């Protein structure tokens, strides 16, 4: 018999897995991380949902159910560094689930050491991204631990998993009619499976839990001002997890943050995923607007490439790579000037920046204006164009000689 720490979400896959590990005769410690959201529940509702998950694990037979409140740690150590990199995988997905996996890997290792466990386990299938993210994280932190992936060792289709749960009295929320696989934390909510697997099917409204349908959204805009200090955002005094929870509710009411994406998974297949990320969508729009005001052209051009690669590293499970740490160092320096205020209008699924200001603004109205206050030396452009065009002049001369 082995002592195994299982990353337990209370959903279909990990509940079936918990039962299977127990039937093998293992001693199972169920680890649940409170990341601040639980499938549409916010605030105290999310806390209650985590408690219910732990109770479910004990009822199924787990020796111990460990629930850890890691909301602040998730925000400080994972969300903020990624936010500084404007993370959007393939230009769309703000990496909500992907950002939580390296933290879950760290918690698995820490809990395994605390309980003297032989192994850790997860409920990821052989087709998904999370198996890669969690296992690479565990190997980076403690390569001596065995990692079990029973649903990869002995795969179960979703209908078979639902049937197994029914046979062994495992309570689940999924049904044949609503078989979605859902993951949620403060940074966003992901939905897959069921009718979503056909990319021609429009997402049904019952798949969404955080964002209002078009007909239920307010007709009047909400205006907010997000404040930044060295890259760290706040709104009306709220920061950290409280800020994300507030913006998820506020933005969700306006239907902001719905993402329907055909994405390239780590293992090489394309997958159709739905995401809801109101807070992430609002904050990323605000930060990018402020960066355009305070960073130099060269910084912005270089950062665009860094941000894209950063998102790929996180998505691919390489959070603990030295390259990501190096990118963090660059972003820490550039964030020193990301201070100021960004005004946004929230309406009908859109978070639109309508104003920005900063003590570090590189924008100079006197140089930019075409009005009476214009201070730009127009004659200086002659010399600039002459010098910039020298290589083109020489190319034209060489081409003319070659042609003759």
Provide the CATH number for the domain around residue 57.
Answer: 3.40.50.620
Q: Do 14 and 92 belong to one domain?
A: yes
Q: Do 205 and 337 belong to one domain?
A: yes
Here the tokens at position 4 are 């195994």
Q: Do 100 and 122 belong to one domain?
A: yes
pLDDT of residue 38: 57
Residue 316's φ and ψ, nearest 5 degrees, are -80, 0
The share of the chain scoring above pLDDT 90, in percent, equals 77
The share of the chain scoring above pLDDT 70, in percent, equals 96
> Residue 13 catalytic?
yes
Q: Do 190 and 43 belong to one domain?
A: no
Q: Do 351 and 388 belong to one domain?
A: no
Contact 12, 53 (CB under 8 A): no
49 in a structural domain? yes
> Residue 130 catalytic?
yes
What pLDDT digit, counting tens, does each position of 379-400 carry? 989 999 999 999 999 999 999 9
Annotated catalytic residue within 34, 39, 130, 307? 130
Task: Provide mean pLDDT across the span 298-325.
Answer: 97
Annotated catalytic residue within 181, 190, 334, 335? 181
Q: Give 250's contacts (C-beta < 8 A, 6+ positions apart).
A: 222, 224, 278, 346
Annotated catalytic residue within 101, 133, 148, 337? 101
Residue 178 has pLDDT above 90, yes or no: no
Band (pLDDT 50/70/90 cuts) for residue 174 is: low
Pick the last residue of a domain from 175, 199, 218.
Answer: 175
363 in a structural domain? no
Better pLDDT: 292 or 39? 292
Residue 199 has pLDDT above 60, yes or no: yes
106 in a structural domain? yes
Q: Do 20 and 154 belong to one domain?
A: yes
pLDDT of residue 170: 87
362 in a structural domain? no
Pick the last residue of a domain from 175, 195, 228.
Answer: 175
Annotated catalytic residue within 13, 39, 183, 307? 13
Better pLDDT: 244 or 51? 244
Q: Do 43 and 155 belong to one domain?
A: yes
pLDDT of residue 172: 77
pLDDT of residue 236: 96
Q: Give 39's contacts (C-beta < 8 A, 6+ positions apart).
A: 49, 182, 184, 189, 209
Q: What domain range is 155 assigned to?
A: 3-175
Q: Do 21 and 124 belong to one domain?
A: yes
What pLDDT digit, counting tens, does each position of 232-274 carry? 999 999 999 999 999 999 999 999 999 999 999 999 999 999 9
Q: Do 27 and 147 belong to one domain?
A: yes
306: domain CATH number is 3.90.1260.10
**Alpha-carbon torsion 274, 280, 286, 292, what sign?**
negative
Number of domains in the chain: 3
143 in a structural domain? yes
384 in a structural domain? yes
Identify the helix (H) or strand (E) that includes residue 341: strand 340-347
Q: Do 116 and 25 belong to one domain?
A: yes
Q: Do 166 and 225 belong to one domain?
A: no
394 in a structural domain? yes
294 in a structural domain? yes
Could you tell me which of 210, 211, 287 has the C-alpha nearest to residue 46? 210
Q: Do 214 and 324 belong to one domain?
A: yes
Contact 133, 108 (CB under 8 A): no
Give the length of the chain. Answer: 404
Q: Are strands 270-276 and 232-234 parallel, antiparallel or unpaired?
A: unpaired
> Residue 234 catalytic?
no
Identify the helix (H) or strand (E) that includes residue 357: strand 350-357
């Amino acid at each position: 018999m082995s002592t195994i720490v299982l990353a337990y979400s209370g959903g279909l896959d990990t509940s079936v897995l918990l039962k299977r590990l127990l039937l093998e005769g293992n001693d199972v410690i169920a680890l649940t991380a409170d990341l601040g959201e639980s499938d549409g529940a916010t605030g105290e509702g999310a806390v209650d949902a985590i408690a219910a998950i732990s109770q479910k694990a004990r009822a199924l037979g787990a020796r111990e159910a460990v629930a850890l409140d890691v909301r602040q740690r998730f925000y400080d150590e994972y969300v903020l560094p990624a936010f500084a990199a404007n993370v959007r995988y393939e230009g769309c997905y703000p990496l909500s689930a992907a950002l939580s996996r390296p933290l879950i890997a760290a918690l698995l290792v820490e809990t395994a050491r605390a309980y003297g466990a032989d192994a850790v386990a997860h409920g990821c299938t052989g087709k998904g991204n999370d198996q890669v993210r969690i296992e690479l994280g565990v190997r980076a932190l403690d390569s001596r631990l065995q990692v079990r992936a029973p649903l990869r060792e002995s795969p179960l289709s979703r209908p078979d998993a639902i049937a197994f749960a029914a046979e062994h009295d495992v309570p689940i929320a999924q049904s044949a009619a609503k078989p979605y696989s859902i993951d949620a934390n403060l940074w966003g909510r992901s939905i897959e499976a069921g009718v979503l697997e056909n990319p021609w099917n429009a997402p049904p409204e019952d798949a969404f839990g955080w964002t209002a349908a078009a007909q239920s959204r307010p007709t009047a805009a909400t205006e907010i001002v997000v404040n930044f200090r060295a890259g760290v955002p706040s709104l009306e005094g709220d920061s950290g997890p409280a800020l994300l929870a507030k913006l998820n509710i506020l933005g969700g009411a306006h239907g902001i943050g719905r993402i329907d994406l055909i994405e390239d998974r780590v293992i090489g297949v394309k997958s159709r995923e739905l995401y809801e990320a109101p807070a992430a969508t609002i904050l990323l729009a605000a930060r990018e607007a402020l960066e355009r005001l305070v960073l130099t052209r060269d910084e912005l051009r270089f950062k665009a490439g860094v941000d894209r690669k950063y998102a790929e590293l996180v998505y691919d499970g390489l959070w603990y790579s030295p390259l990501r740490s190096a990118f963090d160092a660059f972003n820490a320096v550039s964030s020193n000037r990301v201070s100021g205020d960004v005004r946004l209008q929230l309406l009908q699924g859109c978070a639109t920046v309508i104003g920005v200001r900063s003590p570090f603004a590189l924008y100079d109205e006197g140089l930019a204006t075409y009005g009476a206050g214009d201070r730009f030396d127009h004659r200086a452009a002659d010399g600039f164009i002459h010098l910039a065009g020298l290589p083109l002049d020489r190319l034209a001369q060489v081409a003319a000689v070659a042609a003759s």
